[in-house]
A = this chain, B = another copy of it.
Amino acid sequence: MKPATKIRFEALSDGVFAIAVTLLALELRVPNLQSPTFSFRGLIPLIPSLLTFVLSFVTIAIFWVNHHQLTQRLSTITRRRILWLNMLFLLFLILIPFVTQTMSLNAPSAPAVSIYALVLFGASASFSFLRYWIHHQAHSTARVSFRSLIGPSVYFLAILAPIMSIPLAYVLLTIPPLFYFLPKSSM
């Protein structure tokens, strides 16, 4: 394989990130706000969608920041597996607007939450492998940290959690983003 240039690798990824994040908002349903009095009641059914929207937005934003930090280690891409792990990550990334809408429109639904968690597990796990091989190519001495295993582990639990309790699954889904904002994060 000829080494791939970083610029197009990043351009494709940034394009997909930008579109995925914008589609999240496209999938919000226009509420019915036609009422004779000044009332926001028409927004109430939209609240679960808006919360899910913010959760997915923040999750994708964190993936972007980490992706950006990671590719700074690269000058060129010399291993085909890095290219294809990135493609696998993008495959899960573009499914996020779809599972966000599935979770919003079916709420509360245990299998819908499971599928949401499954896609985030896929994104998170493929990202961890991507990180491993980029560190490997860069001969980085940084080991795969404990922190990098939190995302895949918590999302894996969130796949199974809805069998017992949907609220528990929601709580699990907010842990990886919150953890990221704790001090001394690996960002």
Contact = CB atoms under 8 A, between A and B. Distances in A.
A172 interface: no
Contacts of A115: 33, 40, 43
A109 B162 CA distance: 37
Residue from A9, A11, A18, A69 having most chain B Cβ neighbours under 10 A: A18
A86 B145 CA distance: 28
A68 B4 CA distance: 8
Interface residues of A, number: 67
A95 interface: yes
A110 interface: yes
B33 A102 contact: yes
Given A15-B14, A68-B5, A33 B94 contact: no
Interface stretch (A24-32, A131-139, A149-157): A24-32
Most chain B Cβ neighbours within 10 Å, of A10, A33, A101: A33
